[in-house]
Chains A and B, each alone.
Chain A
Amino acid sequence: DVKVTQSSRYLVKRTGEKVFLECVQDMDHENMFWYRQDPGLGLRLIYFSYDVKMKEKGDIPEGYSVSREKKERFSLILESASTNQTSMYLCASRESGNTEAFFGQGTRLTVV
């Protein structure tokens, strides 16, 4: 079974803190993605990576950065957390080409 594991299920952080969300996949997928999910807005792509050290902006990259130093790990970084970044964050991975995505269990981040 493909596994995509996110480091935390729930997280509470203070405004201005630097926040790291970690994601690890065990199926040697080239592509990894970070989405956020908000009520009424669906899944929106923040960043993705198609190879180690490669990254591309998604639809809503502002306030975020990412790191992919190893193929299996993709980190989302909130440089200075703000309350409007309170959301559910989902990591996904997939092989290249037309293949299904596999998702982590999600991290519900609350910024206070």
Chain B
Amino acid sequence: ILNVEQSPQSLHVQEGDSTNFTCSFPSSNFYALHWYRWETAKSPEALFVMTLNGDEKKKGRISATLNTKEGYSYLYIKGSQPEDSATYLCAFYSGAGSYQLTFGKGTKLSVIP
């Protein structure tokens, strides 16, 4: 079983604060790293699919970076809003011969108005 770790497990931030969390994954056999957002009572939805070392992706106030050599990715949220409250999941994909995504346990973000 591949080891995909996310930290912190949960955090509470004030509305307007910026925040970030980490996903660490095996640096060998890397093919892609996915980020998903899972809001309460909804389905997880993909935020980013990242493949290249040094890659940086952005969607509105949310961005992510990728370091495949050292095996980590950061997710940043600028100016958190209550609607950003969700569990953020990262998933490791090792590519050839593998069909599955291995998920971390997630970071639960609560944004306090």
Contact = CB atoms under 8 A, between A and B. Distances in A.
Contact of A100 (B9, B31, B34): B34
Nearest to B48: A100
Interface residues on chain A, size class: 20 to 34
A89 to B, nearest CB: 12
Given A90-B44, A103-B43, A42 B105 contact: yes
A45 B100 contact: yes
A77 to B, nearest CB: 20
Contacts, number: 52
Nearest to A42: B105
Contacts of B103: 35, 42-44
Given A31-B99, A59-B1, A90-B43, 6 more contacts: A41-B105, A42-B103, A43-B103, A45-B102, A102-B46, A105-B43
Interface of A: 4, 31, 33, 35, 40-45, 48, 50, 56, 58-59, 90, 96, 98-106
